[in-house]
Chain A
Amino acid sequence: MPISVEADILSSRADTVIEPAVLSNETLTKMYRDMVLIRRVEESLLELAESGKIGGAMHTAIGHEGTAVGMAAALQPDDYLTCTYRGHHHSLARGMDPKRAIAEVLGKADGFAKGKGGSMHFLDPSLGLMGANGIVGAQVPHAAGMALASKIRGEGRIAITFFGDGALYQGVMHETFNMSQRWLLPIIFYCENNRYSEMTPIGRTSSVRDIYMFARAYGMHSLQIDANDVEVVYAAVTQAAERARAGDGPTFIEGITYRLAGHMAGDLETYRSPDEIEAQRAHEPLVVLQRRLLDRGADEKTLAEIRAEVEAEVAEAVEFAQNSPWPHPAETYTDVFAL
């Protein structure tokens, strides 16, 4: 018997309420395009996985697009970012080329890491993308180390690290929260609470209802937001970045969202009902943003054109990736040690 997650777990506590940003229609339209691109890349990857072209574990972020796009707009392009193996969306939002992203997932030579990293290890240091990680929570101290480096060098860059609700129960998270707050490191801890730790609803394993309260134990500024609303995400990350740059230390953001696809490609999803997913679709980030744009006078034709344009771009990227050659066998033995 599936245990459904609560329909709405947003806290009503006054101390976490944040005033959403009101962005221009031009900005929102650009955000809409980025979110549609992420959605289409993820859907295409799931299709490729279903046809047997992708091995291993691949985790899509369908439903998390508002988080990535709101974040990317709120930060500087060279701010450090680390994230989980569910990290395609952050990379695409920060400007990773979908061609090289898809080629990497397919293990092809044109992948950004020559096919050695794959879906779980998205990165591009030139875009400040310092590594997605296959081990739950492991990327979080990395970001704190980058924030520490920035502080030592006085370079003014901040770090943001993304993790899921499931990561809060790894010890290294708490070690990192403690040190980051004690040393007032310029870092944003961003929890993408999509209600499920892999296949288990968080309520079944957590003794704490509101995840952002963990950070309060360390004296850290923390808040809980509706991450399906890109203007809310943008406002929260902007404020957290300002605090970090001003030397006021870390912020913990719990962004409530919902994972519309399975934990990974091939997930049987026996732990939730189709009705539960359907109910969440009314409030998913693309629907919310599209509704807002139309309410503010955008024209449906423009949005349809964007969708068609993205459709063509992603189809081209999939074709590019499929046609990309396999890496040369000699690549197996390179990059073990740096010179």
Chain B
Amino acid sequence: MRTTTFIQAINEALKEEMRRDESVFLIGEDVGRYGGLFRVTRNLFEEFGEDRVIDTPISEQGFMGMATGAAIVGMRPIVELMYMDFFLVCADQIFNQAAKMHYMTGGLVNVPMVIRGQHGGGKRYGSQHSQCVESAFAQWPGIKVLAPSTPYDAKGLLVSAIRDNNPVVFIEHKMLYFTRGELPEAGEELIVPIGKADVKREGKDLTLVSFSYTLLEALEAAEELQAEYGIDVEVVDLRSIVPLDTETIYTSVEKTGRLLAVHESQSNCGIGSEIVARIYEEAPHLLKAPARRLGMAPASLPVSQKLEEELLPWKKNIKAAVLEMLQPVAA
């Protein structure tokens, strides 16, 4: 094992899949000669040429639609949205077209494509470049939604996404790009299956479910809670939002009896709401105390560092939420 950045892991997955399968190609704004705004696609233009690493004009609807069309006839396009917020510009092509094509053709057509890009706050990009987007995609049947938190999962899940025969939204996070983690040697095949959550920290007092960058904040919170209060939090990384691995969540709650779902996006109508609702419907007997959600308050992310910090439901808020749920244990 070696350690690499999150960016390097994604770049390797793209490169290795493009070498393996000629039908894989990249398309998006500045993905070619420049190597992507965040340098995720660097050096790929040089290796694969302009036919397979395509710089587009700023026309999200147009190139998302072209990728959909190419996928319908058997290519495996990977579309980069420079900021995930821009999915709204091409929403028809994603939601009405790519997502529904397999269903409304009675299965005659597949749309094997990946839509990838970074979302989230923490870098003061303001309201139109910081939104977390996973719950919007999760409402639409026909789209798989992935949001890894480590280089290992990022590489392995992206390989699975590229080989999947459906539209897969692969959500990166701008705060994750320069984080580092262990990764097998380049060229060594790494596959992380879609739809499997992963226990990133074992614990016995409470199950904390999260994903994407917030998962790292949750892990830090868990370490501090252990050191400061002796509270032992189990941290489950969803990795895959759709399909959702409730089995791993329930197995964990069976042990801890407590569930807290945390994400950066709004609490209201978020994935946390879904997880909490599901446990009450499917396995309420596992809970020793009410399950809870923690997410952002309903406001757009402001630019000011102080205001952004106020809004993001990160380590400080996570610790407070866990302490509230475990008052008796902490005391």
Residues of A within 8 A of B (CB): 80, 82, 111-117, 121, 123-125, 130-131, 133-135, 138, 140-146, 148-153, 171-172, 175-176, 178-179, 182, 334-339
B61 engages A141 (CB within 8 Å) = yes
B166 engages A179 (CB within 8 Å) = no
B169 nearest CB across to chain A (Å): 13
Residues of A within 8 A of B108 (CB): 112-113, 123-125
B73 engages A334 (CB within 8 Å) = no
A22 nearest CB across to chain B (Å): 35
B142 engages A140 (CB within 8 Å) = no
Measured CB to CB, the nearest residue on chain A to B97 is A138
How many residues on the B side are at the interface (Cβ–Cβ under 8 A)? 43
Interface centre among B64, B96, B103, B111 (most CB of A within 10 A): B103
Interface contacts (Cβ under 8 Å), in number, total: 142
Known A-B contacts A142-B72, A338-B110; A148 and B104 likewise in contact (beta carbons under 8 Å): no
Interchain residue pairs with CB less than 8 A apart (23): A111-B106, A113-B108, A131-B72, A138-B97, A140-B65, A141-B65, A141-B66, A142-B68, A142-B69, A142-B97, A145-B69, A145-B71, A145-B73, A145-B75, A149-B69, A151-B51, A172-B61, A175-B59, A179-B56, A179-B66, A337-B102, A337-B144, A338-B107
B263 nearest CB across to chain A (Å): 24
B102 engages A336 (CB within 8 Å) = yes
The complex places the Cα of A146 from the Cα of B77 at a distance, in Å, of: 12
A117 engages B106 (CB within 8 Å) = yes
Residues of A within 8 A of B59 (CB): 175, 178-179
Residues of B within 8 A of A82 (CB): 69
The complex places the Cα of A240 from the Cα of B57 at a distance, in Å, of: 25
**B74 is an interface residue with CB less than 8 A from chain A:** yes
Known A-B contacts A146-B73, A149-B74, A175-B62; A141 and B68 likewise in contact (beta carbons under 8 Å): yes
B170 nearest CB across to chain A (Å): 16
The complex places the Cα of A207 from the Cα of B64 at a distance, in Å, of: 28
Residues of A within 8 A of B109 (CB): 123, 125, 130-131
B65 engages A135 (CB within 8 Å) = no
The complex places the Cα of A99 from the Cα of B63 at a distance, in Å, of: 36
**B18-54 CB contacts (< 8 Å) to partner A:** 25, 51-52
B246 nearest CB across to chain A (Å): 17
**B174-214 CB contacts (< 8 Å) to partner A:** none
